[in-house]
Structure formats: structure tokens, C-alpha cells
Amino acid sequence: MSYVIGKDCVDVNDRACMDVCPVDCIYVGDRKSYINPAECIDCGACEVECPVEAIYVDRKARGDEERTRFVEDSRNFFQIQLPGRDAPLGSPGGSRKVGELGVDTPFVSDL
């Protein structure tokens, strides 16, 4: 189980969630942020802090096609080679180590 940042974050990207994340697992793309499912400890602090209610636990996506696509997209952000990058991001151990990435998955870029 981990948390996912959904469609309501696209082009808003408030980042209040990052301030409360105890493990620094929220990474900044271009149009939205992404929670690394391998680094998330499922504390839920980000969900409560999000001013646009874009964050939800991945199990709440069951039966909801749009949310399910964002769960998959969140995994893809870390597992596929993003445009302009040499390799997949993987799990670098915290977003502060890599800074703002300035790129999204093709799914989010096409929204």
C-alpha cells in the first residue's frame, strides 16, 4: 500500500504534502508531483495536508478507472525512462537528493 497523487494536482502542484512527508518520498515533476511507492511508509500525512484533495491511498483506486490510471502512472514515473533522462529514476532515497525533475510521464504530459 502507498499513497498516490491524482489528477487534481495537475497544474496546481501545491507541494504542501512535501513539507509534512517524514521520508521525503514525494518527487516534483513538471505539472504534478509523484509519491514513490517503494519509499512511502503509508503514514498518510500527505493526504491530510493536500489542499486540493489530490492524494489517496492506492487501494481506494479499485473500481475507479481514472484513479487506477494514476496508480499505474505513479509507478511508471519511477520505473520507466522519462523524456530527457538517461535511465529510470528508481528509488534514489529521497527527493531532496535529486531536486525538481521538471518532467512528467507521457500520461500526465498528454493531459
pLDDT in tens, 66-99: 999 999 999 999 999 999 899 999 999 999 999 9
Distance CA 76, CA 36 (A): 10
Q: How far apart are CA 107 and CA 1, in angstroms?
A: 22
Q: Which CATH class is domain 3-84?
A: alpha beta
User: Pairing between strand 55-57 and 33-35?
Assistant: unpaired
pTM of this prediction? 0.93
CB contact at 8 A, 51 and 14: yes
Q: What is the pLDDT of residues 1-50, one digit of tens each?
A: 689 999 999 999 888 999 999 999 999 999 999 999 999 999 999 999 99
Give the whole-angstrom CA distance, residue 66 versus residue 41: 24
Amino acid, single-letter form, for residue 23: V
Give residue limits of the domains in the chain.
3-84
60-73 pLDDT per residue, tens: 888 899 999 999 99
- 80 and 8 in contact (C-beta within 8 Å)? no
